[in-house]
Amino acid sequence: MSSHSAFAEAADALAARVLGALTGTGDPVQLARYVDDAPDTLAALAAVRVLGADVFSPHLLAGQAFEPQDAAVAVKAFDAFPSSESADETTVARRDHATAVLLARLAGDDTLRELAPEPSGDELPGPDEWSAWSVRMAQLAPLATLGLDGPVHTAARDGALPLSRGVSRSVLRRDFPTAGRLVRWLAWLRHEGVGLPLDPDVALEHVHLVGGAGPRGALDLAIARHFLEQRPGAAPKAAHR
C-alpha cells in the first residue's frame, strides 16, 4: 500500500472514530490510544493533521474530556507534518491555524498557537465570484465550528446567499462532499442567528439521503446537524478538561 493510500485510510478511520464520539455511538476519541494502537504510527499522525480542527469536535460540541496526552499527540503530529508557510497554500495554513488555536484552548497552553501562525492577507475570492468563493469556503469547512472567529467567519456571515448558491450548484453537479461542507457553513450561520435564503435542514437531509458520504463527509453532516439542533445564538458548551 502506498503512503498516500495508507494516509487516506487512516484519515477515514480517525474520522469514523471522531464521528462515533461526537454522536455517542462510539467510544471517546482518545488520540493517544488511537496512535498507540495504529499499525502505522506515521499514517495515524498524518490522519490527525488531515482532520485538523475536526478532531476536536467531540470536545467542543459534546463536552467530552480532553486529556494532556491527546494534546501531546496533536503536537507530535505537527512535528511530523509541519504547517506550510507557502503563500500558495493559504487555505491549508488557515486550517492549520484553526487547529493550533483550538489545541491551545483545549490544552490551556496559549504557546501552542505558535504551531501554525495565522496567515496574513485575504486569499478568498470576492463573494460576487460566488462559484470560486463557495469552493474555497468548502475547503475551509473545518473552521465552521465553535471557538473560532476571524476573516473567514466574517466572510461567511456576509455570504449567506453565495453559500446557498454553492450548495444548490454542488447538489445539481452531484458533488455531495462539497455540498455537505457548505451545508455545514449554513448550519453554523443559523446557529449564529444569521438569516438564510436556503433551508439548511432540507439541504442536509437531501445530502444525507443521496450523497453516500464516507466517514469524513458523514462527520461534516453530523457537525452541521449539531448546529441545527441547537437554539440559534445559544452559548457554546464548555469543553471539559
Grid cell listed for 110 = 496559549
pLDDT of 128 reads 75
* Residue 215, C-beta contacts closer than 8 angstroms, at least 6 positions apart: 12, 13, 15, 16, 19
pLDDT of 127 reads 64
Where helices occur in the chain by DSSP H, the ranges are 3-23, 31-37, 41-51, 57-62, 68-80, 90-107, 130-139, 151-157, 160-172, 176-191, 200-210, 215-228
Residues recorded for the chain: 241
**Residue 170 CA, distance from chain mean position:** 19
Q: How far is 170 from 16, CA to CA, in rounded Å?
A: 24
- Rounded to two decimals, what is the model's pTM? 0.91
pLDDT tens over the chain, length 241 residues: 567 889 999 999 999 999 999 999 999 999 999 999 999 999 999 999 999 999 999 999 999 999 999 999 999 999 999 987 554 578 999 999 999 999 999 999 999 999 999 887 666 776 678 898 999 999 999 999 999 999 999 999 999 999 999 999 999 999 999 999 999 999 999 999 999 999 999 999 999 999 877 899 999 999 999 999 985 544 444 333 2
* Residue 117, C-beta contacts closer than 8 angstroms, at least 6 positions apart: 83, 97
Grid cell listed for 159 = 455570504
pLDDT of 122 reads 60
Q: Left, alpha or beta for 145 (phi > 0: left; psi -120 to 50: alpha)? A: beta
pLDDT of 211 reads 80
* Residue 175, C-beta contacts closer than 8 angstroms, at least 6 positions apart: none
pLDDT of 87 reads 44
Grid cell listed for 51 = 482532520
Contact of 45 with 81, CB cutoff 8 Å: yes
* Residue 179, C-beta contacts closer than 8 angstroms, at least 6 positions apart: 167, 170, 171, 203, 207, 211
The domain limits of the chain are 1-123, 124-234
